Amino acid sequence: MRFHPPAIMLLLCTIPVAIAAAIPTILKSIFFQVIALLRQRSIKRRNGCQNPPRYPHKDRIFGLDVFFQYKKAFQDRDFLDLNWRLFEKYGKTFQANRLGIRVIKTMDPEITKFTHETYFEHFGAEKIRSGAEYLWGDGITAVEGEKWAIRRKLIKPAFDVAHIANLQNRSLSVHVERLMQLIPRDGSTVDLMPLFRRLSLDTASGFIFGESMNALSSADSHQELLDAYFYAQRGSAVRLMLGPKLRFLHRDPKWWSDCDIVNKFLDERVGKAIARLQKDNVSTPPGEKAATNDRLTLRFQIHNVFTPAHDGGAVTLSNAFFHLSRKSYADSPITYELLMTFNYLKNVIRETHRVTPQSTLISRQCIKDVVFLRGGGEDGKAPLYVQKGDIIEMNFRCTLRDRNFWGEDADEFRPERWDHLKPQWEYTPFGGGPRVCPGFCLVFAEVAYTMVTILREFEGLESRDYRPWTEESRATFMNLHEAKVALIPELF
């Protein structure tokens, strides 16, 4: 195609005109950025705000050096301990760069309180949890604001204490009785984790779907689903670590296929529930907003509740028996009589969540500028200015092992410490504030009832695997080696 001289001249004349037309917009943008910067400086100066220590990035633009450090630790199953080493080196609160976004990493319980309760409305989770939406969608754990409030209102009645107590009376005892029949009575080695996973699958499905899957009655009937759940959650953890900007690096066909298995299972349950309501001709009470029949929406909401309910009990029970069977308890075995004091039972469950929490860190993104009363400066005691877009990454595992509060033996499993310690925001295994996990009572009921039932029938508990607890990540953290023990029956 040939341009004639007049056409070329016209094109050249229009370029400066286009630039000139854009100048007011550019100047306006610069003006407001300068005003915002001056306002931030004024607030910082007035409140005495200081920045926390800065991680010494090699890549100061994108912070990819930290990303690859975490990636290697994740692959080496050293992710949890790496975080602890970083806090020991840079302090309880420090800042890093994640693809140009400031990330404030902290193990300070006061900052957890600020983020989860005091300034709850200044923080959200929707944008930073967008890496695994194919599986999690827009469920309660992935949204904020009015969307979150609506979903919270819908699910909260299901976790009412009276409802959970009714569940225990109706079905939990039946499932635990089936579990007991699968535990060997000859003192041989048994891995309790697969059994606990099937138990939790039965209790969670009965609780949420109104119909138990009876996984304890058949070892292989739901194994494909359990394996798919495991792999799908692990892949989701990787994608959440990558974040929305780097999730394209996660190219795993098996993750997609396993997600499809999970989604198909949930779709079937949603379909059954809708059919049951239509058959019973259930209608919305007058004055109430009609519930949705959108199957995709219902699938996402159910997944956000079913997965923690399924994982919570199984992983907690596995961790509890792992700790209780350690050699240090050989001289003072945990007995049924001791657990039935209830206070000690609560202490065992609390200590299990403290030493091996399933949720190790939670991130929130600032959606409105705020000043924290602490977190800034080299010692973390100066005020800290958090601006819109900053990410607060709260590391619960490190908080739960802080020797300044829990003592020099903070890494050890010692339920007796709870007799004199009264933590507040130092202990947040289920989060805190308005977004605290509503299912913690359900997990406690399942774990407590199962532990008491098992130890009532067996006199001894021995570890048959002395390898240390090793992290295995999915949506939660569990022990790679699970819980290989021997349960010794009473002699008479």
229 with 262: CB under 8 angstroms?
A: yes
Amino acid at 331: D
What's the pLDDT at 80? 93
- What does the pLDDT read at residue 330? 43
Residue the block writes with tokens 């009470």 = 285
Domains of the chain in sequence order: 45-136+360-399 (no CATH), 163-221+269-357+411-492 (1.10.630.10)
Nearest residue to 103 (alpha-carbon basis) of 128, 76, 133: 128
Task: Find the distance separating the first CA and the last CA of the chain, reported in whole Å.
Answer: 100
pTM of the model: 0.85
State the Cα–Cα distance between residues 448 and 455, nearest whole angstrom: 11
* Phi, psi of 375, rounded to the nearest 5 degrees: 115, -20
- In contact, 236 and 474? CB cutoff 8 Å: yes
pLDDT at residue 492 in the model = 46
User: Reduced to 3 DSSP states, what percent helix, strand and coil does the chain have, rounded to the nearest 5?
Assistant: 60, 10, 30
Give every residue of the chain whose pLDDT is below 50, as ranges.
Answer: 1, 286-288, 290, 329-331, 492
